Structure 1
Amino acid sequence: MPAAPIPRLSAAERWRLLLGEAAQTSLQTGASSSMQAMDRALAWLYGREGERKSEHGEAAETLERHGGSEASRLSVPEWINAIHELFPKETIERLERDAIERYGIDDVVTNIDVLERATPNAALLAAVLRTKHLMNPAVLQAARKLVAQVVQQLMEKLAKEVRSAFGGTRARGELAARGAASQFAARETLRRNLRHYDPQQRRLIVQRPLFYARTQRQLQRWQIILLVDQSASMTGSVIHSAITAACLWGLPGVKTHLVAFDTSLVDLSDEAHEPVETLMKVQLGGGTDIAKAVGYAAGLIEAPRRAIVVIVSDFYEGGNEYLLIDRVRGLTAQGSKVLGLAALDESANPDYDRALAARLVDAGAHVAAMTPGQLAGWLAEKMQ
């Protein structure tokens, strides 16, 4: 059955929805059933703005928008159904993201009816990882499908960046009769096929397309050990670390390890090529013992000068800072490379303990905030 058409609103009606019930008298808009339904759905979510508290207990700053009196009667499944019928896709994704990230309405992903209607996106994936321990088996099965859809989207994006970083460079002096579309040598193809130009039809017939050859990078066997902080604040980094490990898994000459840690640790290397399984096993929350994780990584290293240890964390160490610094210094002294990654999501917004990060740099580590694609490029550069 085709989806119902999205209601069309006038400019005044859109302002009325933005400002809420308090603007009704000033704007003097009508009260169509569609606008009432939209207002009710928006008020159910944003009408709770005044209920939020700051970290110190004071009421949070409220928006100008005020909710209608009927908003609280909507249940979560009813709200999801309503926004899917009333709003375009872009608005639905924003509403679902605000419900999870801004107001903490995690039951959006603990109800099977809601999960089946929800639009797969990174915010919903993060919420699933936070609440999967509360899900019954039927809901968990539906959540797994959602996780798989979002992971596939992220994999498709990152895999291209990884292939580009590790796939070699164009050899401009060498041409081949076959190649990928990205290797097409347009200028050389035109020049060498000019004799096939038909002046009557004013058309150039390309009988022999040419492509730039690529020189394959010859990699010695390297170890990449991803140590991922799985404390509650690192959800986005855990997601993208799992995706990155899966993309690195199949590269020739690379042995990938994936270790999640808080105050304890779990080695997920055997499942690193299956990011859905990896993410469903992660337990978010708890403290942070980076020194313990680095010590474990040191025990995995086979050839020190061909090993890269990547610490994905906010560097708020709950363990022994002096032990962490000493272990990082020991790794760099033996020729291993240590990268501290302060952010590993698509926007790479850094939020980390800069004082400890600076001490790690003094110990020989490199600390940066970068996207997964930038990380792949950095690794490829170090492994040449």
Structure 2
Amino acid sequence: MTSSLPDQHETLRRWRLILGRYAEAPMSSCTSFSGQDWQLDQTLDFLYGREYEGRGLVRGGGGALDPSQIQAVDWLNRSRKLFPRDVYERMQTQAVERYQMTELLSDPALLEALEPTPALTKALISMRGRLSGQMRDAVRQIIRRTVDEITRRLRQDFVNALSGRRNRQRRSSLKDSRNFDARATILANLRHFDVGSKRLLIERPLFNARVKRHLPWDVILCVDQSGSMLDSVIYSAVLAGIMASLPAVRVKLVLFDTSVVDLTHLAHDPVEVLLTVQLGGGTDIGRALRYCETLVDQPQRTVLVLISDFEEGAPPLHLLAAVKRLAESRVTLLGLAALDDAATPIYDRLMAQRLADRGMQIAALTPPHFAEWLAEVMQ
């Protein structure tokens, strides 16, 4: 069966937008394309035409766009209008990370106009050493906006989980589903049971209150900052900032690759932590844990969280020995495996098992679930 004429036009349109100026027929010769198609073609070519240039092809020729080339500011504004938000955010990240668009990296106003996302923040952190002082200020603002948004999403989970446990003897007016007391609610509403429909009508749901924890816990975040761990570093910095604001938790923040950096004095400020990160190099987890041993004051009220892909670059003997010593001293050891952008765990499972055999609990969790896990071990 042959395709209908409208289907053929749509297929031709899609291929023309994919191939850009290097298609056989320029957009101007395709009379069936709309004005929005023209704008899409310009916008895509402004960014992805750089791919051809990187392969030695020059702009120009039979597929040229109209004489009025768009500028970076026009590209930003137009992309934001033409594409769904997730597509636009991916394009702006590729503009900075893959193509290192000089127009954006030399104008603070354009950089500040970008949509702050974790992906963009990762790209800017990795190249901030090549930026001027004025541009570094703009990068700082983007990182701050990203951190503020992540903090806004995660903070309540950590406050609820770490500020107190459920108090079943006291009721709360806060209608939080995590505090819902199903058993007490059923008992209190049994008189409303409808025999005919066999349904229990809930007149008044009951919720448990929270009690404050007064005995503080020490939480040592030991974070792998090798090149593959930037996603985890960003979230770890935010989590350290949140926990540093809680009265029942004393946070110590340690970053490592083959070197170890104690950033406890910056734990309250995730932005400064991220501006301090030095990505790259190898990984010496054993050295980092040996340093963390020196930070332990009250073993039975200390949680040491190793955030890593567990890809040990040094001989594992020192790492395994440190884990065994810490476990025997009754420090609570949590190993939080690295997650990629799609929240898929990426870590050395063999090493994770060896760590678990010596007393470290291992899990791959998103930050909200990590908050619940941390709260459970601190009960």
Alignment of 1:158-197 (within 5 A): 158-168=154-164, 170-171=166-167, 174-175=170-171, 179=174
Are the aligned partners of 1:305 and 1:336 in contact in 2 as well (CA < 8 Å)? yes
Q: Deviations over 1:244-279 (max 9, x none)?
A: 111111223211111111121221111111111111
Q: Bigger shift: 345-354 or 280-289? A: 345-354
Are the aligned partners of 1:168 and 1:217 in contact in 2 as well (CA < 8 Å)? yes
**Which residue number in structure 2 is paired with residue 306 of structure 1?**
301
Are the aligned partners of 2:180 and 2:208 in contact in 1 as well (CA < 8 Å)? no
| 2:91 alignment partner, SS class | helix
Are the aligned partners of 2:47 and 2:95 in contact in 1 as well (CA < 8 Å)? yes
Pick closer, same or farther for the CA change 1:14–1:223 going to 2, 3 Å: farther
Alignment of 1:6-85 (within 5 A): 15=14, 18-21=17-20, 22=23, 30-47=32-49, 69-70=64-65, 79-84=75-80
Q: Bigger shift: 133-142 or 79-88? A: 79-88
Q: How many residues align?
A: 343
Are the aligned partners of 1:41 and 1:83 in contact in 2 as well (CA < 8 Å)? yes
Alignment of 1:82-231 (within 5 A): 82-84=78-80, 86-100=82-96, 103=98, 105=100, 107=102, 108-109=104-105, 111-168=107-164, 170-171=166-167, 174-175=170-171, 179=174, 212-216=207-211, 218=213, 220-231=215-226
Q: Distance in 1 between matches of 2:10 and 2:294?
A: 64
Q: Distance in 1 between matches of 2:265 and 2:339?
A: 22
Are the aligned partners of 1:314 and 1:343 in contact in 2 as well (CA < 8 Å)? yes
Which of 234, 246, 252 aligns to 2:247? It is 252
Q: Deviations over 1:363-382 (max 9, x none)?
A: 22122211111111111100
**Which residue number in structure 2 is paired with residue 199 of structure 1?**
none
Q: Distance in 2 between matches of 1:245 and 1:285?
A: 22
- 1:307: Cα distance to partner? 1.3
Are the aligned partners of 2:107 and 2:135 in contact in 1 as well (CA < 8 Å)? yes
Alignment of 1:270-309 (within 5 A): 270-309=265-304
Q: Which amino acid aligns with 1:94?
A: R
Which of 237, 254, 268 aligns to 2:263? It is 268
Are the aligned partners of 2:339 and 2:346 in contact in 1 as well (CA < 8 Å)? no
Q: Which amino acid aligns with 1:37?
A: Q
Q: Bigger shift: 343-352 or 261-270? A: 343-352
Structure 1, gaps ≥5 residues long = 1-9, 54-66, 195-205
Pick closer, same or farther for the CA change 1:20–1:346 going to 2, 3 Å: closer
Pick closer, same or farther for the CA change 1:173–1:14 going to 2, 3 Å: farther
Which of 338, 341, 344 aligns to 2:336? It is 341
Identity %: 36
Pick closer, same or farther for the CA change 1:316–1:106 going to 2, 3 Å: farther
**Which residue number in structure 2 is paired with residue 379 of structure 1?**
374
When the two chains are superposed, the root-mean-square deviation of aligned CA atoms in Å is 3.7
Q: Distance in 2 between matches of 1:219 and 1:29?
A: 73
Q: Distance in 2 between matches of 1:28 and 1:104?
A: 29
Q: Distance in 1 between matches of 2:106 and 2:370?
A: 33
Query: Given the two structures, how large is their TM-score scaled by the length of structure 2?
Result: 0.77
| 2:294 alignment partner, SS class | helix
Pick closer, same or farther for the CA change 1:219–1:149 going to 2, 3 Å: same
Pick closer, same or farther for the CA change 1:184–1:380 going to 2, 3 Å: closer
| 1:127 alignment partner, SS class | helix
- 1:129: Cα distance to partner? 0.8
Q: Which amino acid aligns with 1:343?
A: A
Query: Given the two structures, how large is their TM-score scaled by the length of structure 1?
Result: 0.76
Q: Is structure 2 residue 323 aligned with structure 1 residue 321? A: no
Structure 2, gaps ≥5 residues long = 1-8, 56-61, 193-202
**Which residue number in structure 1 is paired with residue 327 of structure 2?**
332
Pick closer, same or farther for the CA change 1:161–1:31 going to 2, 3 Å: same
Pick closer, same or farther for the CA change 1:157–1:293 going to 2, 3 Å: same
Pick closer, same or farther for the CA change 1:367–1:75 going to 2, 3 Å: farther
Q: Distance in 1 between matches of 2:346 and 2:99?
A: 20
Q: Distance in 1 between matches of 2:13 and 2:164?
A: 52
Q: Distance in 1 between matches of 2:79 and 2:174?
A: 47
Pick closer, same or farther for the CA change 1:278–1:68 going to 2, 3 Å: farther
- 1:47: Cα distance to partner? 4.7
Pick closer, same or farther for the CA change 1:220–1:174 going to 2, 3 Å: closer
**Which residue number in structure 1 is paired with residue 227 of structure 2?**
232
